[in-house]
Amino acid sequence: MAKPITENEKGKEPQILIIDDEADFGDYVSEVAKSLKYTCVATVNATDFKAALNPNVQLVILDLIMPDVDGIEILRYLNQQNCKSKILLMSGFNKRVLEVASDLAKELKLTVVGHVQKPVRKAELEKILNTAMELAKETEIKKPIKAQSTVDITKELIQEGLDKDQFLVYYQPQVHIPTKRLVGLEVLVRWQHPIHGLIMPDSFISKAEALNMIDDLGWRVAEKSFKEMGAFISKNDNSPTMSVNVSPYTLLNLKFPDMLLELAKTNNIRPDKLMVEVTESGLFKDLSSALDILTRLRMKNIKLSIDDFGTGYASMQQLGRIPANELKIDQSFVRQIHEQESARVMVVKIIEMAHALDMKALAEGVETEEQLEYLHVNQCDIAQGYLYSRPIPYNALMDWVKTTNPELLA
């Protein structure tokens, strides 16, 4: 029986679009893609590439080094076009070029799903293409769920959220790596809105800061978490600490240390079981004012953690002046432990720096056993991430403790 003509690619948009000035290589990749039943078009210059680009393209395969146009220009073009296709980078050069281009793509809000280092054998190329297409599909499906809410966050809406008690607190465990014991909890706010659903902090914290509502919101988070978790964290010496994220704006309020200590007392919480988290970038906006508040907090025995470390611009000298107890290694480095040499260097150096300054090192965003193993070998103290648990509400956290650290409930 003759095959129906619709089997042909004619009229179909390609799922994969290649740009590589080496026509032979483009054709080779294209043949392999087709053998895996993907529709694919290979172009050899920027004009043809731009003409072939359309919203149905799921994967762009991009050669970084070409004579008439370089790959970086194409990345900028894709950004201008608000391109949603996933990107696979190719280069005959060393890995470092691929890594740097990959970082640039991220800055341009493009999603790189893999690398191909030329030359590449058929079997490996097949594996790379299949994985890249899996990832392209996966992120496509996840997008509507992960999409940031488009709600217009106003002062009135936040006030209503406070009045109607719509802000919830979730907790994420922090685990001592060598002993696997629960040593800390991070409090993370969520906004349960009756119409807009669960709104994540990335969508409203900076708005709350801009609208001068962050002190009220932060205070509500502290009140709720202290009340809910106070008894658990104050049980005994082995109880975990609890970390709250504090906005750099709140750090300018001279009354903040006294208010926080008062709230701790009201809830029978030992101050040394509380930790204040400030981001590295927030801290250095106004270091001298922040130092004033931070020193007072430390004098009251409240602990201090520097969040998202490695993404700001702290110098060694500044860091030495901060009376912090903990450095949190930003998740962007942890995620890349097995992909980027530069990320591994950052992780190891941050751990060394923390220890040299008599601080604990905590790795954020730990998702795999392999990442944990690397952190363990390099003497990182504490890990936090989906490997242990996502941020969860009080009851779920207590169930988690019951199965993992029952002695903390005794």
Give me the residues that bind ligand G (CB under 6 A), please: 172, 188-189, 200-202, 205, 218, 221, 245, 247, 307-308, 331, 364-367, 385-386, 391
Please, which residues have CB within 8 angstroms of residue 348's CB and are 6 or more apart in sequence? 378
Residue 143 φ then ψ, to 5°: -50, -50
Residue nearest to ligand G (CB): 385
Query: What's the closest the beta carbon of residue 364 comes to ligand G, in angstroms?
Result: 5
> Rounded to the nearest whole angstrom, what is the least distance from the CB of residue 114 to ligand G in the complex?
18
Please choose which of Mn ion, ligand G, none residue 326 contacts, taking the beta carbon within 5 to 8 angstroms, the exact cut-off set by kind.
none
Return the residue of 228, 277, 280, 330 that touches Mn ion, per CB under 5 A: 277
Largest CA distance in the chain: 85
Asked if 98 and 115 touch (Cβ cutoff 8 Å), the reply is yes
Q: How far apart are CA 28 and CA 32, in angstroms?
A: 6
Nearest Cα to Cα of residue 16 among 30, 36, 32, 27: 30
Please report where in the chains the tokens 């470092």 appear, as a residue: 96
State yes or no: residue 15 binds Mn ion (CB under 5 A): no
CA distances from 244 to 9, 87, 171, 306 (A): 56, 37, 10, 11
Binding mask 205-244 for Mn ion (x = CB under 5 A): ----------------------------------------
Q: How far is the CB of 64 from ligand G (least distance, A)?
A: 27
Minimum distance from CB of 339 to ligand G (Å)?
Answer: 15
Can residue 245 be called a binding residue for Mn ion (CB under 5 A)? yes
Give backbone dihedrals phi and psi of 365, rounded to 5 degrees, phi first.
70, 30
Nearer to ligand G, 58 or 384 (CB): 384
Give the Cα separation of 167 and 43 in Å (integer). 51
Of 48 and 339, the one with the shorter C-beta distance to ligand G is 339
Binding region for Mn ion (CB under 5 A) out of 63-71, 122-130, 210-218, 272-280: 272-280
The label of the residue with tokens 């978490």 reads: 225
Q: Which is nearer to ligand G, 64 or 112 (CB)?
A: 112
Of 307 and 330, nearer to Mn ion (C-beta) is 307
Q: Which is nearer to ligand G, 125 or 304 (CB)?
A: 304
Q: Tell me the β-bridge partners of 244.
A: 187, 276
Contact set for Mn ion, span 292-311 (CB under 5 A): 307
Distance of closest approach, residue 378 Cβ to Mn ion, in angstroms:
22
Least distance CB 371 / ligand G (angstroms) = 9
Cα gap 243→187, rounded to integer Å: 6
| Residue 20 Cβ vs ligand G, minimum distance, rounded to whole Å | 32
Question: Among residues 324, 217, 225, which one has the least CA distance to residue 278?
Answer: 324
Among Mn ion, ligand G, none, the one that 385 touches (CB under a kind-dependent 5 to 8 A) is ligand G
Q: Are strands 182-193 and 167-176 parallel, antiparallel or unpaired?
A: antiparallel
Residue 326 touches Mn ion, criterion: CB under 5 A: no
List the one residue out of 390, 386, 382, 399 whose CA is nearest residue 240. 382
Chain contacts with Mn ion (rule: CB under 5 A): 245, 277, 307
